[in-house]
Amino acid sequence: MANKTVKILLIDDDDDDYIMTRDLLSEIEGTRYELQRAMTYDKGLELIDQKSHDVYLVDYRLGERTGLELLREAINNGCRAPIIMLTGQGDKEVDVQAMKAGSSDYLVKGQINAPLLDRSIRYAIERKRSEEDIYRMAYYDILTGLPNRFLFNDRLKQAIALAERYNRLVAVLFLDLDNFKRVNDTFGHHMGDKLLKKVAERINLCMRKGDSLSRQSTDDSVDTVARLGGDEFTIILSEIHHLEDAAKVAQRIFNALSLQFTLDTYELFISASIGIAIYPHDGKDVSSLLKNADAAMYHAKSEGKNNYQYYRQSMNASALERLTLENNLRKALERNEFVLHYQPQVDIRTGEIVGLEALTRWQQADGRIVPPGEFIPIAEETGLILPLSDWILHTACKQCKEWHAAGFPDIAVSVNISGQQFQQKNFAKTVNRVLEDTGIKPGDLFLEITESTIMHNTDMVFTTLYELSRLGLRLIIDDFGTGYSSLSYLKRFPIHAIKIDRSFVKEINTSPDDAAISKAIISMAHSLKLKVVAEGVETKHQLAFLREQACDEIQGFLFSRPLPFEEVLKLLSREKKGSGIVFSILNRIRDMAPRA
Ligand code: C2E
Ligand code: MG
Ligand code: MG
């Protein structure tokens, strides 16, 4: 502030006060103050409206009226600069009221000296500046300067209230860029951010004149463009006369976005999908309008992107639910809502944890954890499984490296590989790159594939399997026994182990058939030099039976449910110290007679 001239407006009808203030300011060193004066209430208000001062000094007594009234009126009119109240010795209580009404400070005339005045002004300006920063951070998106979700909700609530009163229509547009992730992946986030900024500017130019993006007033018919996050933008058209008006704006936005974007030396094109919901037809409150505009946007995506769709009630409930799930799944990836949990695999002879199977969970924003059975099939149908699988493989290897670094260098990680992922042309190369990127050895990564993957498109599968095994990776056939492969068929492939499906293990002590099948699988697998893992082991009796049959490894709730990353470290430490559950269970069943 030292180099800048601070402009002060004194609103005071008393000449002595003016002279005193002027003299005090001239005594201050280090800051240059420029003082202007308004003699009356009305002149003061008029000058405040021009917003050309850094701070206002307002006398409490202004003829017929008070400085307090002026303070309230100025703030109401949108004044955001600090106002300091000057009170007389006898104006008790005024100080509290002034502070309550929003004044930055108060000074008692007759008790003011130059340093006090200087400090009060500088603090008031500084405090106001931090208040403004906080306001901006709370209600505006830092990247684009657009209103954020909170301000958007607020504005929509206001628009709805006004529309209700005056019987008007309000349109909510939900816009999502098409294939934005590709921009990020290809050019990096930095470039993605630049694009978002430019997109924000272009959308904003499509709005009605005068509807500025960072407007902070509660003006009657303001159209708001907001950024909810990622590549999602929402728009409120606060006063439309016909339903088609919303489509016209959507079309204007398409036209604006269709022009090439130049970012540094790159030239790129982007399109968007827009969903439209109208108050009061498609919802009467903020959340239903937003939800329905979002559903309509997703409908636009499924119609081939780069188009707009109005929300239709006829989108039947189940299709909508499915669309919403798909939509959310797509966003989940961008929002990093997936986490890996790990289930230990225990060597039945030594009781050591030899590996951890990575099992993916979807942790939704509302805290609900969706199990993979609910989203993996949809991810497979929509192709989302590929980017998701990349993330899973990468994360599992990275976290495996962290266990190694934490003092457990022999732990392997097991990752489930979807059919589509496995059938990708360069799958083995992709895996190799992940190993290099994360720095784990090939022998530390197990890949679990299902029988159906192996039965599919045999030539290609064959090649990939050999490439992987040459790299030194171990392959496990998951859920063995549920498909159509036979062990003699599997003999042709470089496979390390099979995992007996949970459904056999479940009845192993009660169903003679399941017991016989499990026994046969174990002994045949051993004769083919394959290891056998049993999954879904829940009881000590199941464990005793499997031990008797010389099954090699065990996985199941008996030892541990799949655990979050941090819990795994604790579990590994406890087992190492010999105070863990695995250790104690294996000790206890040692003398137990197997029950088949
Ligand atoms: P899976 O690979 O056969 O995984 C074992 C499933 O059995 C896991 O279910 C695990 O929580 C559950 N389980 C383990 N021990 C017991 C037990 O003692 N009793 C019972 N009742 N269940 C047990 P989850 O995590 O729900 O996963 C289900 C399936 O989803 C997995 O079966 C796998 O096929 C698939 N999946 C999970 N994560 C991924 C992934 O990252 N990628 C792919 N492609 N598929 C995944
Ligand atoms: Mg598995
Ligand atoms: Mg399995």
Tell me the best of 343, 359, 450, 560 to mutate to test the pocket of ligand 1, counting ligand atoms within 8 Å of each CB and taking the most.
359
Token pair, residue 192, equals: 């993605």
The SS3 call for residue 85 is: strand
pLDDT top residue among 330 and 145: 145
Could you tell me if 217 and 255 lie in one domain?
Answer: yes
Token pair, residue 416, equals: 């489930």
- The Å distance, Cα 573 to ligand 3 centre, comes to 26
Could you tell me if 551 and 433 lie in one domain?
Answer: yes
Please work out whether the CB of residue 344 comes within 6 Å of at least one atom of ligand 1.
no
- The Å distance, Cα 475 to ligand 2 centre, comes to 11
Q: Is residue 594 part of a domain?
A: no
Ion ligand 3 residues within 5 Å by Cβ: 478-479
Cα 335 to Cα 7, 332, 362, 484: the distances in Å are 46, 5, 11, 38
Please work out whether the CB of residue 379 comes within 6 Å of at least one atom of ligand 1.
no
Strands (E) located in 143-254: 169-177, 224-229, 232-240
Closest C-alpha to ligand 1, atom 2? 416
Question: Mean pLDDT across the stretch 312-333?
Answer: 72
The SS3 call for residue 168 is: coil
Residue 325 CA to residue 340 CA, distance in Å, equals: 20
pLDDT range class, residue 457, cuts 50, 70, 90: low
Q: Is residue 495 part of a domain?
A: yes
- The Å distance, Cα 359 to ligand 3 centre, comes to 10
What is the structure's pLDDT at 97? 87
- The Å distance, Cα 231 to ligand 3 centre, comes to 37
Please work out whether the CB of residue 538 comes within 6 Å of at least one atom of ligand 1.
yes
Average pLDDT over the chain, rounded to an integer: 89
Q: Is residue 554 part of a domain?
A: yes
Could you tell me if 401 and 302 lie in one domain?
Answer: no
What residues make up the domain containing 386?
A: 325-589
pLDDT top residue among 303 and 125: 125
**CATH number where 517 lies:** 3.20.20.450
Token pair, residue 243, equals: 């339903």
The rounded percent of the chain whose pLDDT value lies above 70 is 93
Is residue 562 scored above 60 in pLDDT?
yes
pLDDT top residue among 218 and 195: 195
Question: How many domains are there within the chain?
Answer: 3
Q: Is residue 116 part of a domain?
A: yes
The string of pLDDT tens digits covering residues 404-419 is: 999 999 999 999 999 8
Please work out whether the CB of residue 501 comes within 6 Å of at least one atom of ligand 1.
no
Q: Which residues contact 486 (CB under 8 A, 6 or more apart)?
A: none
Q: Which residues contact 282 (CB under 8 A, 6 or more apart)?
A: 288, 289, 292, 293, 311, 313
Could you tell me if 239 and 353 lie in one domain?
Answer: no
Residue 212 CA to residue 238 CA, distance in Å, equals: 13
Please work out whether the CB of residue 309 comes within 6 Å of at least one atom of ligand 1.
no
Kindly give the number of the ligand 1 atom that is closest to the alpha carbon of 450: 34
Could you tell me if 330 and 307 lie in one domain?
Answer: no
Whether a cis peptide bond, with omega within 30° of 0, leads into 280 is: yes
Could you tell me if 487 and 568 lie in one domain?
Answer: yes
Candidate from 196-205, 244-253, 300-309 with smallest mean pLDDT: 300-309
Token pair, residue 480, equals: 């063995």
pLDDT range class, residue 233, cuts 50, 70, 90: very high
Q: Is residue 596 part of a domain?
A: no
Residue 27 CA to residue 429 CA, distance in Å, equals: 76
pLDDT top residue among 244 and 487: 244
Residue 526 CA to residue 154 CA, distance in Å, equals: 67
Residue 98 CA to residue 71 CA, distance in Å, equals: 8
- The Å distance, Cα 501 to ligand 3 centre, comes to 6
Out of 253, 278, 312, pick the residue that ends a domain: 312
Could you tell me if 540 and 425 lie in one domain?
Answer: yes
What is the structure's pLDDT at 593? 60
Half-sphere exposure (Cβ direction) of 396: Cα atoms closer than 13 Å: 30
The string of pLDDT tens digits covering residues 71-128 is: 999 998 889 899 999 988 777 788 888 888 889 999 998 899 999 999 999 999 999 8
pLDDT range class, residue 470, cuts 50, 70, 90: very high
pLDDT top residue among 304 and 517: 517
Is residue 594 scored above 80 in pLDDT?
no
Whole-structure pTM value: 0.55
- CA 118 to chain centroid, in Å, comes to 46
Q: Do 37 and 9 form a contact (C-beta atoms < 8 A)?
A: yes
The string of pLDDT tens digits covering residues 18-71 is: 999 999 999 998 889 999 999 999 999 999 999 999 999 999 988 889 999 999
- The Å distance, Cα 187 to ligand 3 centre, comes to 38
- The Å distance, Cα 541 to ligand 1 centre, comes to 22
Q: Is residue 212 part of a domain?
A: yes
Could you tell me if 96 and 183 lie in one domain?
Answer: no
Candidate from 275-279, 335-339, 365-369, 591-595 with smallest mean pLDDT: 591-595
Is residue 131 scored above 70 in pLDDT?
yes
Q: Is residue 535 part of a domain?
A: yes
Amino acid at 346: V
Question: Mean pLDDT across the stretch 268-279?
Answer: 93
Q: Is residue 334 part of a domain?
A: yes
Could you tell me if 304 and 343 lie in one domain?
Answer: no
The string of pLDDT tens digits covering residues 138-194 is: 899 999 999 999 999 999 999 999 999 988 999 999 999 998 988 888 888 999 999
pLDDT range class, residue 595, cuts 50, 70, 90: low
Tell me the best of 392, 414, 416 to mutate to test the pocket of ligand 1, counting ligand atoms within 8 Å of each CB and taking the most.
416
pLDDT range class, residue 217, cuts 50, 70, 90: very low
Out of 110, 139, 168, pick the residue that ends a domain: 139
Could you tell me if 346 and 256 lie in one domain?
Answer: no
Question: Mean pLDDT across the stretch 509-517?
Answer: 90
**CATH number where 219 lies:** 3.30.70.270
Please work out whether the CB of residue 562 comes within 6 Å of at least one atom of ligand 1.
yes
Could you tell me if 506 and 417 lie in one domain?
Answer: yes
Looking at the CA of 562, name the nearest ligand.
Answer: 1
Is residue 505 scored above 70 in pLDDT?
yes
Could you tell me if 113 and 247 lie in one domain?
Answer: no
- How many other C-beta atoms are found inside a 10 Å radius of the C-beta of residue 486? 10
Residue 257 CA to residue 54 CA, distance in Å, equals: 39
- The Å distance, Cα 209 to ligand 3 centre, comes to 60
Q: Which helix (H) or strand (E) holds 361?
A: strand 353-363
Among residues 358, 391, 461, which one has the least CA distance to residue 419? 461
pLDDT top residue among 156 and 217: 156
Q: Do 545 and 595 form a contact (C-beta atoms < 8 A)?
A: yes
What is the structure's pLDDT at 16? 92
**CATH number where 31 lies:** 3.40.50.2300
Out of 117, 139, 161, pick the residue that ends a domain: 139
